[in-house]
C-alpha cells in the first residue's frame, strides 16, 4: 500500500538515534494500547478498523444513495476535523474537472459572506441537501452556515421534504445538533464520544460524504484494517509508522522544527491540509511541537522553493509520491522545436514530474533539508484508508514522544472566547470588558 524511505535522512542524524528513541517508542506503544497515556479516553479510533461496522456501513450507504438520488448538490457543512478528512478523501479519489452528480461542496469551514452568496446563487434551480457535521454541535462557523442554508432549503421545499434533505453527524448523546436531530427527526449518525474530531475520518464524519461522492467506504475501512495489522509491532525498526514518528522527533531534537509535507499531485493538496491539522492541533502545545506546513510541487517551487533550498536551516520535508497514476500523456512532436522541448520526446508527463521530484529532493538534501519519502502505490480507497490510519497512529506516538496530550486542543478555545465576547454572547460580559479596556 505504502512504503517509507528514510535513507535521505541518515546524513542528518546519528546512527544510534533511532535505536535510542526506539526504547521510548516501545514504551509508548504499550502505553497507547493499554490506554494509559494522557487523553486515553479519546482512543476510540485506535481499534476502530478491526471493529464490526457492517450495520453502520449499510446505513451510511443507504443514506448516501437516497441523497444522491434527490440532489444535484450535496453541501457538507463542518470545520476542522469535521470536514478536512472527507474533503481529503474525495479529492484524493476523484477525477479532476469531474462533472459527476451529485456535486459535493463544502460550507461552514469559514465565515465568508462572499462565499455564501456565491453558493446561494450556485444552488439556484438545483436540488440540494445538507449534511451538517459537528461533534460538539456548537461550533460557530458550521452553526451559522447551517442556520442560513436550512432556511433557504425550507423556503424551497416543504417542511417534510426539507427534513429528508438534512442529515446530521454529531455526538451520539449530547449537544445542540443532537437535540435538533431528535426533535426534528433528521436522519443522523454518530461521531463516537471517544473519537476526537481530527481522528474521526473513518467514522460517519468522513465516510458519509465519501459515500455520497460515490466511493466505496468498505474498501477505505479495509485499507485502514491492513494498516492496523501492519503497525502493531512495538519495535521501531520493524514498524514504518513508528519509524516515521521517531524520525520526525529526532529531527526536531536536532533543530529541524518545521516539517513540510510536499506532494507532486494536486489531488493530495487537501490530504496535506488534513495532515497539517492532525499534527498541528495534536502536537502544538506547552510551548512545544513541530510547526507543520504544506506545499504542492512543482507549483510551490516557484513560490517557496527558494526558502526551502536556501533559507533558515530549520526544515525537513515529508514527500508523498504516487507510484501508479492512471493517465500518461506524451509530449507531441514539434518539427520546428520552437519551444526547445523536443529533448522530452518519448517521455510522458509522469516521468517528467518524477524527474522534478527526484531533482528537487536531491537539491533540497544538498541544501541541508532532510527528506522522508512516502510512496503510495496508487490513489485508491484502500490506500486512502491505509494512509489515514498510518498518520493517525504516527501522530499519537509522536505526540507522546513530545510529551504532550495529542488528543486535546485547549488552544483552539482562546479565539472563540474573544469572538463570543465581541459578538455579545451571554456569559462573556467580563471578557468583553477586558477587551474594551485594551482599547480593542
Catalytic site positions: 281, 302, 416
Q: What does the buried/exposed string (b/e) look like for 107-143 if buried means 16 or more CB atoms within 10 Å of the residue's CB?
A: bbbeeeeeebeebeeebeeeebbbbbbbbbbebebbb
Is 54 or 173 the residue whose CB approaches ligand PA5 more closely? 173
Strand, helix or coil for residue 90: helix
Cα angle for residues 25, 247, 14 (degrees, 5° grid): 105
The residue (of 197 and 296) whose beta carbon lies closer to ligand PA5 is 197
Kindly indicate which of the ranges 16-24, 30-38, 74-82, 259-267 contains the residues binding ligand PA5, using the contact rule CB under 6 A: 74-82
H helix or E strand, kind and range, residue 126: none
How many angstroms separate the CA atoms of 42 and 123, rounded? 38
Decide: helix, strand or coil at residue 434: helix
Q: Give 391: exposed, middle or buried? Use CB within 10 Å, 0-12, 13-18, 19+.
A: buried
Q: Does 178 bind ligand PA5 (CB under 6 A)?
A: no
Site for ligand PA5 (CB under 6 A): how many residues? 15
The distance from CA 185 to its chain's CA centroid, rounded to whole angstroms, is 30
Torsion sign, CA atoms 429, 434, 435, 440: positive
Find, among 227, 241, 271, the residue nearest to 394 by Cα.
Answer: 241
Q: How far is the CB of 349 from ligand PA5 (least distance, A)?
A: 36
Q: How far apart are alpha carbons 88 and 383 in whole angstroms? A: 13
Query: Can you give 138-199 as a three-state secondary structure string?
Result: CCHHHHHHHHHHHHHHHHHCCHHHHHHCEEEEECCCCCHHHHHHHHHCCEEEECCCCECHHH
Helix axis angle, 381-402 relative to 240-253, nearest 10°? Answer: 40
Could you give the CA distance from residue 412 to residue 409 in angstroms, rounded to a whole number?
A: 6
The least CB distance from residue 84 to ligand PA5, in Å, is 8
Q: How far apart are CA 260 and CA 315, in angstroms?
A: 7
Residue closer to ligand PA5 by CB (options 83, 264) is: 83
Asked if residue 134 binds ligand PA5 (CB under 6 A), the reply is: yes
State yes or no: residue 399 binds ligand PA5 (CB under 6 A). Answer: no
Taking the CA atoms of residue 103, residue 147, residue 416 and residue 428 in that order, the dihedral angle to the nearest 10 degrees is 180
Per CB under 6 A, the list member of 22, 80, 209, 370 interacting with ligand PA5 is: 80
Which of 53, 87, 135, 393 is in the footprint of ligand PA5 by CB under 6 A? Answer: 135
CB of 198 to ligand PA5, least distance (A): 3
Name which of 403 and 411 has its Cβ closer to ligand PA5: 411
Taking CB under 6 A as the rule, does residue 198 contact ligand PA5?
yes
Does 284 help bind ligand PA5 (rule: CB under 6 A)? no
- Binding segment for ligand PA5 (CB under 6 A), chosen from 11-19, 88-96, 128-136, 345-353, is 128-136
Tell how far CA 435 is from the center of its chain.
34
Stretch binding ligand PA5 (CB under 6 A), from 61-69, 94-102, 196-204, 419-427: 196-204
CA distance 392 to 398: 10
| DSSP assigned state of 295 | E
Site membership for ligand PA5, residue 233 (CB under 6 A): no
Closer to ligand PA5 at the Cβ: 82 or 129?
82
Cβ–Cβ under 8 Å, residues 63 and 259 = no
Q: Rule CB under 6 A: say whether 196 interacts with ligand PA5.
A: yes
Give the one residue of 26, 136, 230, 375 binding ligand PA5; rule: CB under 6 A: 136
- Which residue's Cβ lies closest to ligand PA5? 197
Q: Which of 37, 49, 81, 206 is close enough to bind ligand PA5 by CB under 6 A? A: 81
Closest to ligand PA5 by CB, 102 or 142:
142
Binding mask 254-283 for ligand PA5 (x = CB under 6 A): ---------------------------x--
Which range binds ligand PA5 by CB under 6 A, 132-140, 229-237, 286-294, 432-440? 132-140
Q: Candidates 28-36, 77-85, 158-166, 321-329 — which segment interacts with ligand PA5 by CB under 6 A?
A: 77-85
Applying CB under 6 A, among 139, 162, 263, 371 the residue interacting with ligand PA5 is: 139
User: What residues make contact with ligand PA5 under the rule CB under 6 A?
Assistant: 79-82, 134-136, 139, 142, 196-198, 281, 409, 412
Amino acid at each position: 500500500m505504502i512504503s517509507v524511505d528514510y535513507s535521505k535522512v541518515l546524513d542528518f542524524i546519528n546512527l544510534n538515534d533511532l535505536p535510542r528513541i526506539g526504547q521510548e517508542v516501545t514504551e509508548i506503544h504499550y502505553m497507547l494500547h493499554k490506554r494509559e497515556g494522557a487523553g486515553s479516553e479519546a482512543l476510540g479510533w485506535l481499534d476502530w478498523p478491526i471493529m464490526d461496522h457492517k450495520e453502520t456501513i449499510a446505513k451510511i450507504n443507504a443514506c448516501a444513495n437516497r441523497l444522491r438520488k434527490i440532489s444535484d448538490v450535496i453541501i457538507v457543512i463542518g470545520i476542522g476535523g469535521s470536514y478536512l478528512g472527507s474533503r481529503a478523501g474525495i479529492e484524493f479519489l476523484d477525477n479532476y474537472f469531474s462533472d459527476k452528480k451529485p456535486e459535493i461542496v463544502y460550507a461552514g469551514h469559514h465565515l465568508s459572506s462572499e462565499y455564501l452568496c456565491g453558493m446561494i446563487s450556485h444552488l439556484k434551480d438545483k436540488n440540494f441537501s445538507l449534511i451538517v457535521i459537528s461533534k460538539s454541535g456548537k461550533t460557530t462557523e458550521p452553526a451559522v452556515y447551517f442556520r442560513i442554508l436550512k432556511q433557504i432549503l425550507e423556503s424551497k421545499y416543504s417542511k417534510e421534504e426539507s427534513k429528508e434533505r438534512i442529515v446530521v453527524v454529531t455526538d451520539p448523546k449530547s449537544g445542540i445538533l443532537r437535540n435538533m436531530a431528535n426533535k426534528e427527526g433528521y436522519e443522523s449518525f454518530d461521531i463516537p464520544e471517544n473519537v476526537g474530531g481530527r481522528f474521526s475520518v473513518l467514522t460517519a464524519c468522513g465516510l458519509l460524504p465519501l459515500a455520497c461522492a460515490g466511493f466505496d467506504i468498505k474498501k477505505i475501512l479495509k485499507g485502514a484494517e491492513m494498516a492496523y495489522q501492519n503497525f502493531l509491532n512495538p519495535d521501531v525498526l520493524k514498524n514504518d509508522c513508528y519509524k516515521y514518528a521517531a524520525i520526525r522527533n529526532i529531527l526536531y531534537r536536532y533543530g529541524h522544527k518545521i516539517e513540510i509535507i510536499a506532494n507532486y499531485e494536486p489531488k493530495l493538496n487537501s490530504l496535506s491540509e488534513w495532515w497539517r491539522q492532525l499534527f498541528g492541533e495534536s502536537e502544538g502545545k506547552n510551548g512545544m511541537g513541530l510547526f507543520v506546513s504544506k506545499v504542492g510541487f512543482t507549483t510551490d517551487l516557484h513560490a517557496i522553493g527558494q526558502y526551502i533550498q536556501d533559507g533558515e536551516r530549520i526544515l525537513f520535508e515529508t514527500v508523498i509520491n504516487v507510484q501508479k497514476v492512471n493517465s500518461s500523456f506524451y509530449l507531441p512532436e514539434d518539427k520546428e522545436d520552437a519551444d526547445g522541448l523536443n529533448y522530452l520526446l518519448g517521455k510522458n508527463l509522469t516521468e517528467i514530474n518524477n524527474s522534478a521530484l527526484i531533482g528537487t529532493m536531491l537539491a533540497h538534501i544538498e541544501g541541508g533539508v532532510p527528506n522522508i519519502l512516502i510512496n503510495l502505490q496508487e490513489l485508491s480507497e484502500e490506500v486512502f484508508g491505509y494512509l489515514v490510519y498510518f498518520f493517525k497512529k504516527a501522530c499519537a506516538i509522536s505526540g507522546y514522544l513530545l510529551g504532550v496530550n495529542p488528543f486535546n486542543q485547549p488552544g483552539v478555545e482562546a479565539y472563540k472566547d474573544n469572538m463570543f465576547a465581541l459578538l455579545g454572547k451571554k456569559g462573556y460580559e467580563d471578557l468583553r470588558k477586558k477587551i474594551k479596556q485594551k482599547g480593542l
